[in-house]
Chains A and B, each alone.
Chain A
Amino acid sequence: MRNRNHRNPLAIGFLVLGAFFILFPMYMAIMVSLKNPQELGQSILGWPRRIFWSNFPQAMAATHYTHAFENSLFITAFAVILTILTNSMVAYAIARNMHRRFFKYLYYYFFAAMFVPFPIIMLPLVRQMSHIGLADRVGLIILYVVYGISFNVFVYVGYLRSVPMELEEAALVDGAGRWRIFWGIIFPLMGPMNATVGILAALWAWNDFLLPLVMLGNPNQFTLPLMQYALQGQYSTNYSEAFASYLMALLPMIIVYVVAQKWIINGVTQGSIK
């Protein structure tokens, strides 16, 4: 029975149990990464007798960590900024003209594209992108921005419908152009949605595996997940080094999450229920 005055022991017990399941793989990863192969052979889950921090710098060197990190950051940063700036604009134009046939169809066109599975685009896309010399990081950024349109327009339009038109109309009477209205009034008004779109784009670009896998040929441009995949063989039987590199690949996102978790959770929720 729901009782607002007493804590619910059943719920707490359940959540603690669930927390154990979430944390266990992480705990194991940390334990494995801190041991040397001999001790790992004896015990996987126990606390290390001696901590081998050296696994981390070794893994960093083996996986070209700083390089991959820079690539991931470069791709994610540009994907997020360009997505917010361009997709919001497209959505604005559509939202304010939904009564016109062209914009309405445009909206449905973008929406329908959401259901096209990536595998069908994958094979021809790779050839097309390399043909125009864009099978690289820059091409990847363009794809994130362009493919993001489908979902983001949907999210932005939902939000823009709730933004009253009066402000724009007043500005229009004052002689402001559409561009100035958008950048001066509407874009700042969409702040919360921009945050949502930005967070989702960041999570996508940072963690994505399949698109970089098929697009990037030059190992200098590999992102963190792709580097993990490409260098799986490198660790051979040295699991400690492998896990050190796994943890380092996850760490940037975990730090960002710990700092900005409230934003991220709100952002993701907003994006999905709008």
Chain B
Amino acid sequence: MKQETKLLAVGVTIAGMVVGCGANTNTNSTTPNSGNSTNTGSAQTVPQVQLNFLQNKPEVVTQWNKIIQEFHKKNPNITVKQVNPPNTDTELQADVAKGQVPDIIAMGADATFIQMANNGIFKSLAGRPELAKVSPSYTKMLEAEVGKSTPFALPYTANAVPIIYNQTLFKKYHVAVPTTWNQLIAVAKKIKAAGGTPFYNGWKDSWTIAVPWNALATNEEPANFFTQLKANKTSFTKALPTAAARMKQLSSLGNSNEFGTDYNDANSGFANGKGAMYLQGTWVLPVLRQANPNVKLGTFVFPATNQPSKTKMVSGIDSLLALANSGNSTKEQAAMKFVDFLLQPAVATEYANVAGMFSPVKGAKMQDAALRPLQSYITAGRVVDFADHYYPPAMAAGDQYESLLQGALSKNQSAKSILQQMDTLYKQSAAHE
């Protein structure tokens, strides 16, 4: 075994290290990426490449494995290993601290991505032919988030935050699809009065609360909210009283065990008819169908306001593709090959379809009937990015503000108190920047 010889070697060199290392460990703080390649597999004669692929969506692990296998068949010398930890952000930060950044990363365009892109963790894709294969508007969205005009990632799928509903139950309760907030609440109350559960919330996992919060907050935020916020000219308390109050309404019309139901439990419960509406993004559709192949699902735009013509749909980049700035050209080339494979219209179409997503890849087609009511919003550009992509990193990373909402809602605190806590957290996190 190679490991054993390594162990021996380590034993021999350790004495030297102890003496010598006092000096050189001080230097670790300024090099963001020491590019060390301690991975096994370098001794073989055939240029075998192993790529670590970190992706943050538990819903599509199987689909990724399938894609990886197909890729491996065509490129037998490249092995791609998928990793899908529960707290991808934390895991990725730990990997960066270790200098073992995964070679390819598929993640949301969230605060962690922005922070890392700004710190040179990812390879710049400027001038790459791959950029021409994707919709430029989503590439621009990524650049806007990072705040630099360098493309650090390619958009691969776009999601949307609608309300998902069970068509069978809507028929049973004789309710129609609502287009305004007041209609939504009326529908929910009618369902509740008939003994049903209007919203099936899986809020034991705090991130799930962020989904309706984004839909409500983005529609209420005034223009240039974040610049104003940064300049201390506005606050969550001033700007978002309605969003907070409506979150409380959604909570009160949810299942009684909503804070004891986790994402998986909620998926399986909603798919099996335990609630009429589900406040989740389109990414959940494949999981729901897997949990109950017979469920009849529909979607409608989240009616966050009372003026349907003004309501915007939250849509963000669900998965972007980023490459590690590893300095190892063999690995980087192999990783780029994998990316090229993914950008073929057929692969992108199938993935987007399985994932319940819209595809920014040119030539890919949307095939999911359940998503059709949302397509016109995407086409017309009546979409707005997730608000929390613009929160300071320390506020969004590690589920900080999501936990805050979860704590406040579970204790049934007032809307005012929720917003005050958001303000405190914002100030604290902004100070860490």
In the complex, chain B residues 309-345 whose Cβ is within 8 Å of any chain A Cβ:
none
Partner of B97, one of A74, A126, A134, A137: A126
User: Which residues from B are CB-within-8-Å of A128?
Assistant: 25, 28
- Best-surrounded residue of A123, A234, A235, A239 (most CB of chain B within 10 A): A234
Q: How many residues of A contact B (CB 8 A)?
A: 36
Report whether A41 and B7 are in contact in the complex, using a CB–CB cutoff of 8 Å.
no
Cα A141 to Cα B25 in complex, Å, equals 21
Report whether A130 and B100 are in contact in the complex, using a CB–CB cutoff of 8 Å.
yes
Cα A132 to Cα B38 in complex, Å, equals 9
Report whether A134 and B10 are in contact in the complex, using a CB–CB cutoff of 8 Å.
yes
Report whether B290 and A236 are in contact in the complex, using a CB–CB cutoff of 8 Å.
yes
Cα A264 to Cα B83 in complex, Å, equals 35
Stretch in A1-9, A101-109, A166-174, A216-224 touching the partner: A216-224
The range of chain B's interface size is 35 or more
B237 at the interface (CB under 8 A from A): no
Cα A235 to Cα B291 in complex, Å, equals 11
Cα A126 to Cα B100 in complex, Å, equals 11
B379 at the interface (CB under 8 A from A): no
- Annotate B63-80 by CB proximity to A: 1 below 8 A, 0 otherwise: 000000000000000000
A201 at the interface (CB under 8 A from B): no
Report whether A127 and B85 are in contact in the complex, using a CB–CB cutoff of 8 Å.
no
In the complex, chain A residues 218-261 whose Cβ is within 8 Å of any chain B Cβ:
218-220, 229-237, 239
B165 to chain A, nearest CB (A): 19
User: Which residues from A are CB-within-8-Å of B39?
Assistant: 218
A142 to chain B, nearest CB (A): 7
User: Which residues from B are CB-within-8-Å of A230?
Assistant: 83-86
User: Which residues from A are CB-within-8-Å of B61?
Assistant: 233-234, 236
User: Which residues from A are CB-within-8-Å of B168?
Assistant: none
Q: Which 9 A-B pairs have the closest CB atoms?
A: A233-B58, A217-B100, A130-B98, A237-B268, A133-B38, A237-B291, A230-B85, A130-B99, A135-B98
Q: Which residues of A pack against B, CB within 8 Å? A: 37, 41, 74, 78, 123, 126-138, 141-142, 213-214, 217-220, 229-237, 239
Q: Which residues of B pack against A, CB within 8 Å? A: 3, 6-7, 10, 14, 17, 21, 24-25, 28, 34, 36, 38-40, 50, 52, 57-59, 61, 81, 83-86, 94-95, 97-100, 264, 267-268, 271-272, 287, 290-291
- If A131-B36, A138-B7 are given as contacts, then 18 extra A-B residue pairs at C-beta distance below 8 Å, sorted by A number, are A126-B94, A130-B38, A131-B24, A132-B17, A132-B21, A133-B36, A136-B38, A218-B40, A219-B52, A219-B83, A230-B83, A230-B86, A232-B58, A233-B84, A234-B58, A236-B287, A236-B290, A237-B268
